[in-house]
Amino acid sequence: MKGTGWKCGAALGLALAAGLIAGTANAATAERKVDGAFADGTPAETVTLSAANGVTARIFALGATLQGYSLPDRKGVLADVLLGHDHPAEYEATQDFFGVTVGRFANRIARGTFTIDGTTYRLPLNDGEASLHGGGQGFDRKVWAIESVTANGPVASVTLALTSPDGDQGYPGEVTARVTYALGDDGVLTITMTATTSKPTIINMTNHALFNMAGQCPAEGAMGNRLTMPASRYTPVNTALIPTGELAPVAGTPFDFRKPKALSDGLRNARDPQVLVGRGFDHNWVLDKGQTAEPQLIARAEDPVSGRAMEVLSTEPGVQMYTGNFLAGTNPGKGGCLYRMGDGYALEPQKFPDTPNQPAFGSARLDPGQIYRHVMVLRPATATK
């Protein structure tokens, strides 16, 4: 479970005797703690970033996980908008991907195979006949090293690092990955994911947070949340949830979120074959902006009742929306809440699913000397009335 460099990270933690790093007065702070231990005795470290406006973000070293993110409603009342668990050991006990950093390759790879320079690589099949989110022991199952925790004026941040050895889960190349969470005093959370490799490989990292702008465990779930996405097309899937290769227009379908609408609108429309095969929404939207050097708006989520809202920005060309279709009320989450289908939804910016096997989707290749970079931003907003 230990990520490379853990001992160095632990030493830094011991050096921070008070556990709290503060910037200037009335500025962002960062607090590092140990919250129990994992099954092998590894200390379970957490870092809480706090902005001057009261917004907080809580990060776990296991899976470089975003465990909590609080946002104000229209009256300024803060609530955590992420599904998840209260303690790191609960994430170790189950693999439900709440808020984790996904890698090496987010989403599905058909038949668990891909080819680079004539060599075919085989990955674990952990989702039927596909490899999902890097295989059963991907980045989300590793304890990342906490490289640094800082509070510099209006920004508090934590950087976590992981070395994935050559051949890990069948992927070629030794990959060094880093994730930095930076919280500004305006409540904006910037997530920067980078990676380098020793051999040609594929990389597609994202954060797998499940959101509900209504807050924690509301009886009505999350399907009353309104969503807007600037995406005119999406990628239909087959029965294995692998893209067919088509870039289909969203116009006239339940997949059209170009104007704000409730997630529940069309979610149970079994007359739409794509909603039926996905058991709801579990698809990649093709963002009109494409791949960009700097993050641009990809989604806006809001709860019209409380007025709590958030904008999501990213550098990536696609976003996978997953409406918690496999949540069955069997795995208690925060505060003992039994999460059910529709209690939350993921907005996962990424390269398109199965890109290594579908050249028309672009490339997920990373070569030695190159740096993979994905910047994702969560930005507080106010719901429209």
Give the catalytic positions in this structure.
Answer: 208, 348
With CA atoms as reference, report the closest residue to 379 among 311, 329, 324, 331: 311
**What angle is formed at CA 75 by the lines to CA 69 and CA 79, rounded to 5 degrees?**
20
Contact present, 351 and 362 (Cβ < 8 Å): yes
Going across the sheet that includes 56-60, the strands are 20-22, 29-37, 43-50, 56-60, 65-72, 78-80
Task: Please give the Cα distance from 371 to 298 (Å, whole number).
Answer: 23
DSSP codes joined into one string, 54-75: S-EEEEETBTTEEEEEEEE-TT
- Looking at residue 100, what DSSP letter applies? P
Distance CA(156)–CA(31), nearest Å, equals: 10
From CA 138, how far away is CA 96, in angstroms rounded?
13
Buried b (16+ CB within 10 A) or exposed e, 343-370: bbbbbbbbbbbbbbbbeebeebbbeeee
Pairing of strands 175-184, 155-164: antiparallel
Other CB atoms within 10 Å distance of the CB of residue 384: 12
Contact 244, 108 (CB under 8 A): no
Question: Are residues 339 and 323 in contact, defined by beta-carbon separation less than 8 angstroms?
Answer: no
Pairwise CA distance, residues 69 & 51, whole Å = 11
Dihedrals φ, ψ of 165, to 5°? -70, 160
